[in-house]
Structure 1
Amino acid sequence: MLPEVRLGRRAALLTCQLDNYRLIVGDDVMDEIYELAAHLKGLHVCQINSTAYGGGVAELLPRLIPALDTLGIRSDWRLIHGPPEFFTVTKSIHNALQGKAHDLSEAEQALYLHVNEQSAKLLGHDYDVIIVHDPQPAALRHFAGARQAKWVWRCHIDSSHPYEPVSQFLLPFVSQYDATVFTMPEFILPGLEVSRVVCEPPAIDPLATKNMELPLDVCKRAMADSGVNPANPVILQVSRFDPWKDPLGVVQAYQLVKQRIPTVQLVFIGAMAGDDPEGWTLMDQVEEESAKDPDIFIFTNLGGVGNAEVNMFQRGCDVVVQKSIREGFGLVVSEAFWKEKPVVAGRAGGIPMQFPQEFHRFLIDNIEDCAERIAHLLERPGERGTFGRAGKEHVRQRFLLPRLVRDVLRLLTSLVS
């Protein structure tokens, strides 16, 4: 069998007590969830991706799966497994789908197909629906066959302008799925021929450790324990160390802000993903910059920084930055808004849809604009508060877990009815 990610005693999670969300999202969404789930009880679903930590999929599934379980939909989470060279290849495919030129060699194509073929042999036969996430396991459907199941390919990245030779390599495999899911219509892979294409943005869990309410003084104390001075302004970026997140551009923007506000500090919290070998190189480059400036701090999940610490830093900072050049959705934007924090972010992918319309001026396209918007907010605490409150309400209406659960149930209903 493919390796399984076990989520422990799921029944203890607040996610499994769905009525806890009624006061947050209202009755209409919750009532529809129960109505849809009543017709899907006993369904067996398998979620397949490439890593259990780091990245958006690993953030989503630990919240989504327990919610489905409590509704009577049995859900497994399994991982495609391969050698390190395989993940180097799939990172190149990931980048190419986002537009970076890379010609897959015959050896790279062979390795990609070999790992998918071997993984298909390890996949169980007792599933009603199999949901495959992103390009790493995209060829599973081809090698596994239908198996009397419905197959869904869920693409979390912006594949609207891919490097064509790589997209042409993937399209024959993706076209065999019963349905594909993208974050937004603009992301749909050109040339895709699948009968059912669904657009479904991700969501955050407001009751998760990363997003639950915490006293501000506790957050500030935790920051101080980490060496950050909470009495001085703090800029925060939470993301993987990925060129598309442009952490080096964030450093340059910070350096411009520091000329105007000398006491400002920059904090990076980076999740090192198990399927992203490129991240280690970029983290080394950011650490080289931090070595030159004692007001730049770098924390990672490898150093014991988890969801609680991310929550504390997001609540305790002054401005959150997400300077993405290309982006799938960018869950950290909704996380920051949920905590009523202002965000300065790249005008990329699903980020603009998370911004209240009246604050789109804080979407930026270059380093200079990024620095200017950050400094503007640091100098205006009242505007930071207004922006943050508007962001929280925008997220409450559109990007919380119950809405995602409802969307998934609608998709499952359309597949098996």
Structure 2
Amino acid sequence: MNKSFILKPKLKDYEPIIGRSALEELKALADKLSGKRILNINSTYIGGGVAEILARMVPFMNELGIDARWSVIKGDNEFFNITKKFHNALHGKKEEFKDNEFEYFLEVNRRNSQELDLLSDIIFIHDPQPVALIQKRGHTGQKWLWRCHIDISNPDEKIWNFIKNYVEKYDAAVFSAPNFAKMLNIRMFLIYPSIDPLSNKNRELSREQINAVLDKYGIDKKKPIILQVSRFDYLKDPVGVIKAFEMVRKNMPCQLILAGGTATDDPESDKVLAEVKEVAWKNPDIHILLLPPDSDIEINALQRAATVIIQKSLKEGFGLTVTEALWKGKPVVASAVGGILLQIKHKITGLLCHSVEGAAYAIKTLLTNPEYAKRLGENGHAHVRQNFLITRHLKDYLLLFLCQYYKEELIYL
């Protein structure tokens, strides 16, 4: 397979999916932002849904004539260990912090604020890692927006109060779901994440391409495939997935694939991967695939080959792997947490579960009822087409930016 081949569709290529009028609307909105410079800042260029979305969103904005840019905050292992603890604590996990960790977090943000070019009209900060860059706010006409991609509905209050102190210095905050948000003394917006239907991870593949990937990783083409695609992260519960699979395998032949990678801002992932390998030790029906960042076609092929796709997260921001699976018309079993609830309507677009046993039961239901599984997959595809494609996401971002210059409240649900 040619790894150098990267599909870079233009906006006009989406017309068969969304229609000409939707493209014309994007152009009309972008024209109103003419002359504005927009800078996105997050913590990594590689790994995770935020980087994946920005890698497509920024080029689209430039194609529409907007001066859009993307930078990342730089930090060492100590910084990213601290921000990983922030991430866990904001999801509600109990973490212990020392005073000097807060000081170091602020010091790294101060250092980056001196090194980054922040001369833009709109500074769009993504997630907690660069939140304190707001201290470098420039002229009064400059707009600062904070985009929260994670579920902070039940955070450790000490950590949230620390982060909130900086968030409320922004002009507005953006959340991915209504139940993720915390009350703030600034304007708040709701914007769902999205997938790119024409990216290498989501476009149509030939049967030959799919089979080539299965052969590459030694996957049995005849045995039903249960697949979870995720970073190796405790919150994705890969060990729980293995336990559910073992329950299913007692009654019917099948195989499990846990496929994913690591992110440069998540130093904990290597430890999780080691534990997963230990639990799966020498089971020939469990395939643990550590995929490099440029594995979009491989992930696409695995998802298209899967019989059932699972996302057994303990916490979840939105769950773009669920969106990807639904777009491919696959039956999905997923935990009833976070943004997954916006995507999986139980027994309509997929099946929700609340435990290892529940996940196993749902998987068995789908394996033994292929027509039911097919119907769920078809419903899921239609749901994503209507709500979770990147062109809709792009429109919402353009409206968000325009809101910073107009008094009218434009909130798209």
Is residue 49–residue 136 contact of structure 1 (8 Å, CA) maintained in 2? yes
Gaps of 5+ in 1: 1-7
Structure 1 length normalisation: TM-score?
Answer: 0.93
Name the residue aligned to 2:62. 69
Deviation string, structure 1 residues 138-179 (Cα, Å, up to 9, x no partner): 110024445742111000000011100111111111100011
Separation in 2, partners of 1:69, 1:148:
22
Is residue 101–residue 163 contact of structure 1 (8 Å, CA) maintained in 2? yes
Separation in 2, partners of 1:297, 1:326:
24
* 1:116-265 mapped onto 2 (5 Å cutoff): 116-145=109-138, 148-190=141-183, 192-194=184-186, 196-261=187-252, 263-265=253-255
Between the two proteins, the alignment pairs up a number of residues equal to 403
Name the residue aligned to 2:90. 97
What one-letter code is carried by the residue in structure 2 that aligns with 1:366?
S
Separation in 1, partners of 2:259, 2:346:
28
Let me know the Cα RMSD of the aligned residues. 1.9
1:347 paired with 2:340, answer: no
Q: Secondary structure at the match of 2:170?
A: coil
Name the residue aligned to 1:35. 28
What one-letter code is carried by the residue in structure 1 that aligns with 2:91?
Q
Q: Which one is further off, 109-118 or 95-104?
A: 95-104
Q: Secondary structure at the match of 2:202?
A: coil
1:13 paired with 2:3, answer: no
What one-letter code is carried by the residue in structure 2 that aligns with 1:325?
L
Name the residue aligned to 1:292. 282
Separation in 2, partners of 1:267, 1:111:
39
Name the residue aligned to 2:53. 60
Residues 145 and 164 of structure 1: CA distance in aligned 2, closer, same or farther (over 3 Å): farther
1:273 paired with 2:268, answer: no
CA-CA distance at 1:301 after TM superposition: 2.7
Residues 398 and 237 of structure 1: CA distance in aligned 2, closer, same or farther (over 3 Å): same
Is residue 69–residue 75 contact of structure 1 (8 Å, CA) maintained in 2? yes
Separation in 2, partners of 1:269, 1:275:
19
Name the residue aligned to 2:357. 368
Separation in 2, partners of 1:18, 1:305:
22
Q: Secondary structure at the match of 2:248?
A: helix
**Amino-acid identity (%):** 41
Name the residue aligned to 1:333. 322
Is residue 55–residue 271 contact of structure 1 (8 Å, CA) maintained in 2? no
Of 377, 381, 384, the residue aligned with 1:388 is 377
Q: Secondary structure at the match of 1:257?
A: helix
Residues 55 and 140 of structure 1: CA distance in aligned 2, closer, same or farther (over 3 Å): same
Deviation string, structure 1 residues 372-411 (Cα, Å, up to 9, x no partner): 1111111222222111111101000000011000000000
Separation in 1, partners of 2:140, 2:267:
33
Deviation string, structure 1 residues 170-222 (Cα, Å, up to 9, x no partner): 111110001110001211124x221x100101000000000000123431332
Is residue 132–residue 138 contact of structure 1 (8 Å, CA) maintained in 2? yes
Is residue 347–residue 363 contact of structure 1 (8 Å, CA) maintained in 2? yes
